[in-house]
Every structure is written in structure tokens, then in C-alpha cells.
Amino acid sequence: MDESFETLYPNIARWVDDHGGVIEIGYADDAPWSSFMRGIDAGGMVVHSQDSYDSFEEAFQDLDAALEEALVEIYGE
């Protein structure tokens, strides 16, 4: 049985559903950053990933871990 996105990446789900944050995926040639994924909220870019990954799974795992740290900083839990 396949696991849900929320089960695999609980912090990304919390970022979007509870915090009201946004996730950006991809590159923009005219952007001042080169990260592949970004976590953004009303205050701006909170987390960003490496420039590239070997797989989407690796990128999502990295973003989920970074958002976990950010959510602890924001909410203390």
C-alpha cells in the first residue's frame, strides 16, 4: 500500500495546511537564488534547498527536514 504525501512528508503538509505557507519547486532564470525548492510564507523565503538533487524524493526529504526546523523555530514544537 502506498503511503500518503502527508505521511511521507508531514512537515511539508503542516507548512501548507496549518501554517499557510507556500512551496515552490523549480528554477527561474531571473531569480536571485538557485535553489530547487523553497518554503515561503507571508514574511518571505524561510527555507531553501540545495541547487540540485539526484531525485525528487531526496529533494522532498531535504525540504521536509528544513521545514521541521523552521516550524519548531516558529511554534516552539
Q: Residue 77 above 90 pLDDT?
A: no
CA 15 vs CA 51, 55, 62, 72: distances in Å: 21, 22, 14, 11
Q: Which domain holds residue 59?
A: 5-75
User: What predicted TM-score, i.e. pTM, was given to this entire model?
Assistant: 0.89
Identify the residue with better confidence: 71 or 28: 71
Q: Residue 21 above 80 pLDDT?
A: yes
Going through the chain in order, the beta strands assigned E by DSSP cover 22-25, 37-41, 44-48
Q: Rounded mean pLDDT of the chain?
A: 92
Provide the pLDDT confidence category of residue 63 given band limits of 50, 70 and 90: very high
Domain count, the chain: 1
Closest CA to 65 of 18, 5, 8: 8
